[in-house]
């Protein structure tokens, strides 16, 4: 039995319904793409992203209210705890040290790291450190 590859989950955000419809139709006509949702403004993007978990966001840069860029910045916002963990990683701490320093379990540190990696689009500590420095976060 041949296993069908997973399709790429996409969220479209644009304030023009006709454009969203056309883009959805185009994307879904190609194998490997699934449009999981549509947002009409930037504030709706954050809500739908947390629920639908798309792999790709297609954002209009000039939506009313929150623009696509502002919506993206909100999605990349790190919680204070995530910022503490990033700081600890940049100083060379391992999970056990981070857990002790913050009075949390190592499993909680791992969960935070998974969230941080997903938000930053990285897959390991070194990539996170480089990403953090390039973005000027710390």
The string of pLDDT tens digits covering residues 84-126 is: 999 999 999 999 999 999 999 999 999 999 988 888 878 999 9
Q: Is residue 1 part of a domain?
A: no
**Residue 137: predicted pLDDT:** 64
Domain containing residue 91: 80-135
DSSP the chain: -PPPPPPEEEEEE-S-HHHHHHHHHHHHTSTTEEEEEEESSHHHHHHHHHHH--SEEEE-TT-SSS-HHHHHHHHTPPPHHHHHHHHHHHTT--HHHHHHHHT--HHHHHHHHHHHHHHHT-SSHHHHHHHHHHHT--
At 17, which CATH number? 3.40.50.2300
**Residue 21: predicted pLDDT:** 98
| 61, 14: one domain | yes
The arithmetic mean of pLDDT across residues 6-25, rounded, is 95
How many domains does the chain divide into?
2
| 111, 69: one domain | no
């Amino acid at each position: 039995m041949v296993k069908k590859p997973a399709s790429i989950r996409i969220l479209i955000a644009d304030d023009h319904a006709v454009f969203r419809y056309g883009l959805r139709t185009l994307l879904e006509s190609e194998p490997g793409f699934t449009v999981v949702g549509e947002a009409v403004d930037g504030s709706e993007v954050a809500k739908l992203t947390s629920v639908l978990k798309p792999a790709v966001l297609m954002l209009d840069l000039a939506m009313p209210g929150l623009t696509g860029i502002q919506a993206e910045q909100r999605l990349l916002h790190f919680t204070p705890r995530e910022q503490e963990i990033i700081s600890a990683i940049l100083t060379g701490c391992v999970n056990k040290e981070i857990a002790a320093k913050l009075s949390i379990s190592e499993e909680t540190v791992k969960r935070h790291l998974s969230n941080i990696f997903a938000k930053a689009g990285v897959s390991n500590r070194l990539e996170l450190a480089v990403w953090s420095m390039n973005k000027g976060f710390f």
